[in-house]
Amino acid sequence: MRVTYNWLKEFVDFEMSPAELAEKLTMAGLEVASLEDWGGRFAGIIVGEIVEELPHPKAERLRIYGVDLGDGTVEVVSSAPNLRPGLKVPYAGPGTRLPDGTEVQRARIRGVWSEGMLCSEVELGLASEAEGVMELPEDSEPGAPFAGVAGLDDVVFELELTPNRPDCMGVLGVAREVAALTGGEVRLPDTSIVEEGEPASGSAEVVVEDPEGCPRYSARVVRGVRVGRSPLWMRARLIMAGLRPISDVVDVTNYVLLELGHPLHAFDLGKLSGGKVVVRRARKEEILETLDGVERELDGEVLVIADAEKPVAIAGVMGGANSEVSSETESLLLESAYFDPVVVRRGAKKLGISTEASRRFERGMDVEATVVALDRTAKLVSELTGGKVAPGILDVRCAPPRRVRISFRPDRARRLLGVEVSDEEMARILRSLRFVVREGEGSMEVEVPSFRVDVYREVDLVEEVARIHGYDNIPENRQGIVPFEVPRRPERLLASRTREILTGLGMQEVVTPSMVHPEFGSVRVINAPYEGASAMRTHLVPCLLEVVSENLRRRVEEVRIFEIGRVFPGGDVEEVHVGGMLAGRRRRWDEAREFDFYD
């Protein structure tokens, strides 16, 4: 998860430097693996304004441009097709290093000196291809640092999140943590929209046929959009987060995913047969070409979004090419749903796909956040494309709201933590994390916010208190602990003793896969990695022979191996066997000979 320093500051006020904030987050359980100073990548690159255009005396394709840098004008030779007087562009003077390490030089081009270069997005490391020099906003001041104008003067935090914290897979979630650590207040993004025209229900219909796979599906309709390029500030944030800008509509869905942590998708409403959205299981041998251009064969394990005739997306994973937003798109259906984590994980694994959306749904999203994320997306799409948001939300809910209430005992928390934290401080910490706390005599009733899917026990609340109070504020306890023995099961004692005897005889233990070729197994495996490992082994011999063969191929002269492993004779029977093999030449101080039966 990548989040930027300035983006966090839009949600919560704090005075810490990036390094101090990284330390604070790491100590609170959100490990910051690295900090990236994006502003430093563009040091020396400034805004230039084209004020003059002249033909090159010796080359028809080249032009000479006068570039105003704020404190003077220089001449630059370029063949870029989009340059014109009045355009604001990134300028790198002689001695400036580009992000890839290239140093710009003063150069003589066909007899004319060029004082530096005008940069494209490719040269700035912001895109893989470009049709000309990068164009900056018209209100950019000549001589201003490029990174500040482009919104790239920022520091990126690379977070290593544990799987149980999907709430922090968005800027808002991290901002909540920062607010709790600093005592600040979180500012929520603007989701106010103006609805116009015919109701959404007149253009689209949502049907959920699999309520277990999709407990909630919310959608909005936006008409009259003009799909184009997203603004520079949005493209910059997507690039720093590791995503590729595509178009304003798609970029908005990705932007809100990063901002709120909730995945969204935009369908071209005109491509949905009957204007219908059906959430169902795929039918056997249905085919869908996904947005990555791959045709995928589906089956009943995969949850899909379909229209009246065909699947148009793999739910929670990736959209389909047959409903993709393009420059011809006029009307949109925006999707914001909650899909079951197990269903999404199973479908993504079966199809071999992992996306920003699937990684979030697999960990568990906030079922109450669908409408908020949807409204935020509709607002930004309307502002950037000129579209009109249709009145009404198509919101199909198949499960009641999630309510988790926990009885919390401060005395028990103090015993577990080994540190004195007052009841009032514990209540304050929990409230700062958006828990609802009702204080009673000796205990508190705590209601867990819907976005904290990882909290459902009293000890989880104790951990929250410890995180925000500060692990470094908990004193180290060096008191000795009386050791005690756990009795071992007889079969494990037998395996351990067998292992000791065989290794004492000079044999080496090996561990081989339990999944083998069907020729050597009786129980077939669903979703096997490949045909050669699609059955569970019935005995150890084939696996040991393979190890021996590999060692002999590598010219190992003496092979002494054994394995203690599980085999599956059939049905639900599972046994532990021991097997060993000797191969090659037995080497002793006085002789070397082939192993035989008596060895």
Any idea what the CATH number is for the domain that residue 51 is in? 2.40.50.140
| Count of other CB atoms within 10 angstroms of residue 183 | 9
E-only strand ranges, 99-230: 107-109, 112-114, 117-118, 155-160, 205-208, 216-223
Task: Decide if pLDDT at 128 tops 90.
Answer: no
Q: Which of 473, 503, 520 is the last residue of a domain?
A: 473
- Domain membership of residue 189 (yes or no) is no
| Listed residue (366, 340, 362) closest to 449, CA to CA | 366
Is 356 among the domain residues? yes
Cα–Cα distance measured from residue 53 to residue 578, given in angstroms and rounded to the nearest whole number: 84
**221 and 175 in one domain?**
no
The arithmetic mean of pLDDT across residues 79-105, rounded, is 94
227: in domain: yes
What average pLDDT does this structure show over 408-434? Answer: 94
- Phi–psi pair at 353, nearest 5 degrees: -120, 140
Query: Does residue 194 sit within a domain?
Result: no
Residue 235 shares a structural domain with residue 264: yes
Confidence tier at 402 by pLDDT (50, 70, 90): confident
Residue 245 sits in the same domain as residue 388: yes
* 26-48 average pLDDT score: 95
- Residue with the bigger pLDDT between 369 and 399: it is 369
pLDDT at 589 (0 to 100): 60
Residues 525 and 436 in one domain: no
Clarify whether residues 243 and 385 are in a common domain.
yes
Question: What mean pLDDT do residues 274-301 have?
Answer: 94
Confidence of residue 398 (pLDDT cuts 50, 70, 90): very high
* Residue ranges in 85-164 assigned as alpha helix (H): 146-150
* Domain identity same for 390 and 411: no
For residue 235, the domain's CATH number is 3.50.40.10
Q: What is the pLDDT of residue 555?
A: 85
Predicted confidence at residue 567, as pLDDT, reads 92
**Residue 187 within any structural domain of the chain:** no
Indicate whether 111 pLDDT > 80.
yes
Residue 480 confidence (pLDDT): 54
Confidence of residue 10 (pLDDT cuts 50, 70, 90): very high
- The pLDDT value recorded for residue 587 is 72
Mean pLDDT of 11-38: 95
Look up tokens 């500060």; give the residue.
470
The reply to whether 460 and 517 lie within a common domain is: no
Q: Is the pLDDT of residue 481 over 60?
A: no
Q: Does 408 fall in a domain?
A: yes
Residue 432 falls inside a structural domain: yes
Are 145 and 262 contained in the same domain?
A: no
Tens digits of residue pLDDT in 296-344:
999 999 999 999 999 999 999 999 999 999 999 999 999 999 999 999 9
Lowest model confidence (mean pLDDT) among 33-47, 104-118, 420-434, 472-486: 472-486
Question: What 3-state class would DSSP assign to 102?
Answer: coil
Can you tell me the distance from the alpha carbon of 426 to that of 414, in angstroms, rounded to the nearest whole number? Answer: 10
Cα distance between residue 291 and residue 324, in whole Å? 7
Helix, strand, or coil (residue 37):
strand
pLDDT of 289 strictly over 70: yes
C-alpha dihedral, 49 to 55 to 56 to 57, nearest 10°: -150
CA gap 454, 579 in Å, rounded: 44
Confidence of residue 483 (pLDDT cuts 50, 70, 90): low
CATH code of the domain containing 418: 3.30.56.10
Q: Tell me, yes or no, whether 514 and 548 share the same domain.
A: yes
Number of independent structural domains in the chain = 5
Q: Please state, in angstroms and as integers, the Cα–Cα distance from residue 532 to each residue in 120, 346, 352, following that order.
A: 50, 22, 18
Q: For residue 377, is it within any domain?
A: yes
127 and 229 part of one domain: no
The verdict on 102 and 136 lying in the same domain is yes
Q: Are 52 and 113 in a shared domain?
A: yes
- Residue 8, domain extent: 2-35+156-182
